[in-house]
Structure 1
Amino acid sequence: MPSTRPVLPEHGPIKRELSLRAVVTGTLLGILLTPSNVYAGLKIGWSFNMSIIALLVGYAIWQGLARRSSQALPWTLHESNINQTVASAAASIISGGLVAPIPAYTLLTGNQLDALPMIAWVFSVSFLGIWIAWYLRPSLLNDNALKFPEGMATLETLLHIYNHGREAATRLKVLLGAALLSGLVKWVDTFLWSLPRWSPSAHLERLTFSADPSLLLVGFGGIIGIRVGLTLLLGAVLAWGGLAPWLLAEGLVIVPAGSTGPQFAALVEWLLWPGVSLMVCSTLASLAIRLWALYASSRSTGAQAWRVPKPGPAAGFVLAIALVVSLQALLFGINLWMALLTIPLAICLAAVAARVVGATGIPPIGAIGQLSQLSFGIVAPGQVPINLMSANTAGGSAGQCTDLMNDFKVGKAIGATPHKQVIAQILGVFIGSIVGVFAYLALIPDPQAMLLTEQWPAPAVATWKAVAQTLTHGLDSLSISIRWAIGLGGVIGVLLGILDSTLPAHRARYLPSAAALGLAFVLPASVSLMMALGAVLTWLVSCRWPSLTERFAITAAAGLIAGESITGVGASLWAMVNG
């Protein structure tokens, strides 16, 4: 592979940008990729940025046509940017609540939103995030301390494929090959015969220790890295190999008589509390330290932490506010004044999330959600709809705001037109809301029976549900053992969050990942084992062939994720049609 560093283009007249084919390509890719993130979010609580997949596929299709036909117009750099903006906006729709507060609301209240109201709600909170990003854009993009690493990775890929077109074609072949393999394995497991879930013994199988034949999990393991992968393995051993047998022996968790096989549903009702406590406390501690560091650095350089942006499309912002406030009242019976209170909180927390993403590349959507839950727990104690769905406003708008800020970073570097990027983002959110909701309803037709099970652990749902239960009923409603577990998990989480944010990077990498450690308490051990396997395999390959891993590891992993998840969604739709 050529080692020439991609060069930024000179900003001249833009020939084609928001073209019909760019929008249609991004829309079709968004339709394909959105269910993948919904599936992965419900399965393991994580999602995948689809910008690079969209870039590779769009470039390969249109540049391939341009080479074969003299009549076809070349696929421009700016069309590629619009294509990935639409597709990534659609795929990031899960931050609107589909894999966390919306299912948690159903589990706690028994109320399941119909498809149309759910689409309207997910779109509204995401639409609000777009306009918050628009107003934040001038101040954040001009702050040299904010690098937006995720946006820069997309930019590097975009420029690289235009400098080295053959590399894009090679990566696309790897992507499609991995997707076909993963999809085939899932299809065989679903329609032909169930692949074996091997376990060393019946006792370990009872504790969820088995080999899950899921290439999606191996793919995510290849992305998360060796530190997170080994932490998941450590967490699985501690939670399911250490605490779970003790809980059963002491009678703190009662398993129904005569039940056989994995006892995930019974055990996770206890184990999720220390896991959630660890994740929430570590992310909040880390977030506080990072924000303080950003504030201190901005003061020392004489830069303003906040600049008043120029007036923008106020009509869009007002429409977004009206949608969010009215839907809270109509769908969830939330008082209008309480619904209005969500707007300034959403703006503040979205701004916080955008600055953190700009500095670290890590979107703190989980921390933002829990912060907003805590805020509404104080303002309106004991009210589940307010605690979940008003907090959903802040989390959903923060997710879409950070996604668009990364696109704005790419756009600024290549001289894109900001208002055309906003149009592309809105189109992506609209498509993603429709496709995401129908994918969720196809996968989880009965949330009460299907979620928080070994098949659908839904760790983000468990987190939002646990926080809402605690703030609604108080710690007194929990057993003494769970209260002790929450306290211990919180202390460990705070310590890990502080150490991770204050130690030098070369030392912090040897710490366990607090988020992964807590997540392992909520996932079945089989899931953590397979993700750890993927991380270890990728690390071993990188030690032997570092350049090969750098070129193809993420692409192959993305293919494994997309192949299984798309096949899984298709299988669910098939079951619905024939059921």
Structure 2
Amino acid sequence: MPSERELSLRALLTGLLLGAALTPCNVYAGLKIGWSFNMSIIALLLGFGFWRSLTAATGGPDWSIKESNISQTTASSAASIISGGLVAPIPAHALITGTSLPMGPMMAWVFAVSFLGIWVAWYLRPLLVVRAGLRFPAGVATLETLNDVFGHGREALRRIAVLGIAGLGSAALKAVDAFVTTLPKWAPTPWLGQLTFALEPSMLLLGFGGIIGLRVGLSLLAGALLAWGLIAPGLLAGGQVVAPPGATSSLFGPLVEWLLWPGVSLMVAASLSSFALQGVGALRALASQRAAWTGPPLGRPHWGPLSGLALAAVLTVTLQIALFDIPLPLAVLAVPFAILLATVATRVVGDTGIPPIGAIGKVSQLGFGVLAPGQAVTNLMAANVAGGAAGQCADLLNDFRTGYGIGAHPGRQAIAQCVGVLTGSVVGVVVYLSLIPDPALLISEQWPAPAVATWKAVAETLAGGLDAVPASARLAMLYGALAGMAIGTAEHVLPEGLRRWLPSPVALGLAFVIPASVSIMMCLGALLVALLGWLRPSLAARFAIAASAGLIAGESLVGVAAALLSMAAP
């Protein structure tokens, strides 16, 4: 029966093509603002819209709900490839060593890290999805959308239309900027423009603002006012940062070299404090669930998944040694460390829906900083295996949660995930190298790459101690760490009614590392969606995410196309 179709060729090919189209969006956004977007719902809507229209026109077999799940699983697995390190430790390694990995080895590395995440997720699925019944909010949101579009197909087509209109508008604006004339930023005064206070002609930033919510948007604005409006002028006046003689353009470059230290310390301290408190609770909950389990062994080692896990472990260990000269004991240790971090991280994601990707990256860096002191490359790339696989695992368990809700076969979803990460590894690396042909472009106003700055700063500090930090920034770094610890702890211990009034510590710290114009535009997007939600709550609930996703996709796809065309030009 058509309703029983699941791992069909058309479902896999649809997911593969959608994944190839959506992966560039996350690579582009990751280098711009350090965040990515869960592509499950947008892939689901696009796949459904295409096949519903085609089957209605041709009379072919209906597009089933399980095929749709396989398609979105493949596409979202591809788009989540940046969890494997493509916009954080890999470019940080290039900045520290001065050389980029060649295309082939980079593809192999990103695939191996993500492939390990798939099989760690497979063995955590019975405990966290089946037995514990954790919510996994992103997975449940996709499940609800899946049931909604198959129950009310006309509403889904409306959302697709909104997504398409927003995408075309965003793409057109970016095309004018890329191919016709550079669209200017608007600053109230030249001095504020030098401090990066401006309005950017970027629909992508408005779209991300619409998704992140008002609390995060206002926190970005507060961080920008503190970093670029208060601290930066003081640094210039006091001589801690020296502007180039006669400078009339942006001072982002010299200022961010100082501001990233308190910003990174705030983000790291907040993430680690919150992650430690959440981790204790998660491990206790996992232990109690294991003790109460009276059924068959969880995650029984069938030959297929066990072979996949073994192959992934061998691949990651071999590539660590071959590409980065990491000692065998440390390379091997990265695998169980990834499993431990994934266990805690996915429990947090299952409860809150917020993937602690930044926190697990820092935990893995600190762990290998202790085991391999003074070795920045070992710190980065062994930590990339542990943190990257754990992050990918947390992303992929959302897909397993969606599939569990409709009775999908987990083995077929795992195959779709393998196809997805293979697609994402190839496309993602091609896009990354097109956008960043020279690592010197990173941590600039065009490509702030805040995740790269964070990984690089932590690796250099662990390798060289405080000598890696400008002397004038050390006290500010301490203040940032104390503020991060205070907010991160308060987020965990305060009741919900008070917690929502706290600023987002990650957004506060991020605003130190990106231009103020980026924070302003994202805050503006959050304010617009909040206003729409206040005036027309039903309209916002139905279309805000679709419109935001269209804005993100339109600009990022044209931006990637412009980069590819510039490389192909003689």
Q: Determine if the TM-score, normalized by the shorter chain, exceeds 0.5.
A: yes
Partner residue of 2:55?
A: 66
Return 131-140 or 215-224, whichever deviates more. 131-140
The answer to whether 1:26 aligns with 2:26 is no
Partner residue of 2:215?
A: 227
Q: Pick from 328, 340, 347: which aligns with 2:332? A: 340
The 8 Å contact of residues 31 and 90 in structure 1, kept in 2 or not, is answered as yes
Partner residue of 1:349?
A: 341
1:83-232 matches, cutoff 5 A: 83-144=71-132, 146-232=134-220
Partner residue of 1:528?
A: 519
Residues 356-377 of structure 1, C-alpha deviation per residue, up to 9 Å, x if partnerless?
Answer: 1111111111111110100111
The answer to whether 1:429 aligns with 2:394 is no
The 8 Å contact of residues 295 and 305 in structure 1, kept in 2 or not, is answered as no
User: What SS is found at the alignment partner of 1:521?
Assistant: coil
Q: How many Å apart are 1:217 and its aligned residue?
A: 0.2
Residues 521-548 of structure 1, C-alpha deviation per residue, up to 9 Å, x if partnerless?
Answer: 0010000000011111111111100000
Partner residue of 1:258?
A: 246
The answer to whether 1:447 aligns with 2:439 is yes
Q: How many Å apart are 1:486 and its aligned residue?
A: 1.2
Unpaired runs of 5+ in structure 1?
A: 1-11
Q: Among all aligned residue pairs of Structure 1 and Structure 2, give the percentage whose two residues are the same amino acid.
A: 58
Residues 385-429 of structure 1, C-alpha deviation per residue, up to 9 Å, x if partnerless?
Answer: 110000000122112211221111111111111111000000000
What is the alpha-carbon distance in structure 2 between the residues aligned to residue 145 and residue 134 of structure 1? 15
The answer to whether 1:241 aligns with 2:241 is no
What is the alpha-carbon distance in structure 1 between the residues aligned to residue 114 and residue 169 of structure 2? 34
Q: Pick from 360, 365, 383: which aligns with 1:373? A: 365
Return 280-289 or 546-555, whichever deviates more. 280-289
Partner residue of 2:300?
A: 310
Amino acid at match of 1:140: L
Amino acid at match of 2:350: G
Q: How many Å apart are 1:132 and its aligned residue?
A: 0.7
Return 474-483 or 551-560, whichever deviates more. 474-483
Q: How many Å apart are 1:291 and its aligned residue?
A: 2.3
Residues 407-464 of structure 1, C-alpha deviation per residue, up to 9 Å, x if partnerless?
Answer: 111111111111110000000000000000000000000012x110001000000000
Return 520-529 or 329-338, whichever deviates more. 329-338
Amino acid at match of 2:218: L
Partner residue of 1:569?
A: 560
The 8 Å contact of residues 18 and 43 in structure 2, kept in 1 or not, is answered as yes
What is the alpha-carbon distance in structure 2 between the residues aligned to residue 360 and residue 526 of structure 1? 30
User: What SS is found at the alignment partner of 1:142?
Assistant: helix
Q: How many Å apart are 1:256 and its aligned residue?
A: 1.9
What is the alpha-carbon distance in structure 2 between the residues aligned to residue 340 and residue 501 of structure 1? 33
Partner residue of 1:45?
A: 34
Partner residue of 1:271?
A: 259
What is the alpha-carbon distance in structure 1 between the residues aligned to residue 293 and residue 263 of structure 2? 34
What is the alpha-carbon distance in structure 2 between the residues aligned to residue 505 and residue 78 of structure 1? 37
Q: How many Å apart are 1:483 and its aligned residue?
A: 1.3
What is the alpha-carbon distance in structure 1 between the residues aligned to residue 339 and residue 99 of structure 2? 28
The answer to whether 1:510 aligns with 2:498 is no
The 8 Å contact of residues 136 and 351 in structure 2, kept in 1 or not, is answered as yes
1:492-507 matches, cutoff 5 A: 492-507=483-498
Q: How many Å apart are 1:143 and its aligned residue?
A: 3.8
Return 137-146 or 558-567, whichever deviates more. 137-146
The answer to whether 1:545 aligns with 2:536 is yes
What is the alpha-carbon distance in structure 1 between the residues aligned to residue 511 and residue 131 of structure 2? 37
Q: How many Å apart are 1:144 and its aligned residue?
A: 3.4
Q: How many Å apart are 1:573 and its aligned residue?
A: 0.4
Q: Pick from 388, 405, 411: which aligns with 1:419? A: 411
Q: How many Å apart are 1:298 and its aligned residue?
A: 5.9
Amino acid at match of 1:482: A
1:314-329 matches, cutoff 5 A: 314-329=306-321
The 8 Å contact of residues 373 and 387 in structure 1, kept in 2 or not, is answered as yes
Q: Kindly report the root-mean-square deviation, in angstroms, between the aligned alpha carbons of the 2 structures.
A: 1.6
Residues 148-186 of structure 1, C-alpha deviation per residue, up to 9 Å, x if partnerless?
Answer: 111100100000001100011000000000000000000
Q: How many Å apart are 1:197 and its aligned residue?
A: 0.8
User: What SS is found at the alignment partner of 1:463?
Assistant: helix
What is the alpha-carbon distance in structure 2 between the residues aligned to residue 228 and residue 83 of structure 1? 31
TM-score, with length taken from structure 1: 0.95
Q: How many Å apart are 1:303 and its aligned residue?
A: 5.5
Amino acid at match of 1:179: G
CA distance change for structure 1 residues 98 and 298 in 2, over 3 Å: closer, same or farther? closer
Q: Pick from 474, 484, 498: which aligns with 2:475? A: 484
What is the alpha-carbon distance in structure 1 between the residues aligned to residue 279 and residue 110 of structure 2? 28
The 8 Å contact of residues 177 and 559 in structure 1, kept in 2 or not, is answered as yes
Q: How many Å apart are 1:277 and its aligned residue?
A: 0.6
Partner residue of 2:278?
A: 290
Amino acid at match of 1:352: V
Partner residue of 1:4?
A: none
What is the alpha-carbon distance in structure 2 between the residues aligned to residue 143 and residue 517 of structure 1? 37
User: What SS is found at the alignment partner of 2:512?
Assistant: helix
User: What SS is found at the alignment partner of 1:454?
Assistant: coil
CA distance change for structure 1 residues 441 and 302 in 2, over 3 Å: closer, same or farther? closer
Q: How many Å apart are 1:297 and its aligned residue?
A: 5.1
The 8 Å contact of residues 213 and 530 in structure 2, kept in 1 or not, is answered as yes
CA distance change for structure 1 residues 321 and 294 in 2, over 3 Å: closer, same or farther? closer
CA distance change for structure 1 residues 115 and 253 in 2, over 3 Å: closer, same or farther? same
Amino acid at match of 2:391: G
Q: How many Å apart are 1:64 and its aligned residue?
A: 1.3
Partner residue of 2:399?
A: 407
CA distance change for structure 1 residues 85 and 300 in 2, over 3 Å: closer, same or farther? closer
What is the alpha-carbon distance in structure 1 between the residues aligned to residue 278 and residue 187 of structure 2? 42
Number of positions where the alignment pairs a residue of Structure 1 with one of Structure 2? 566
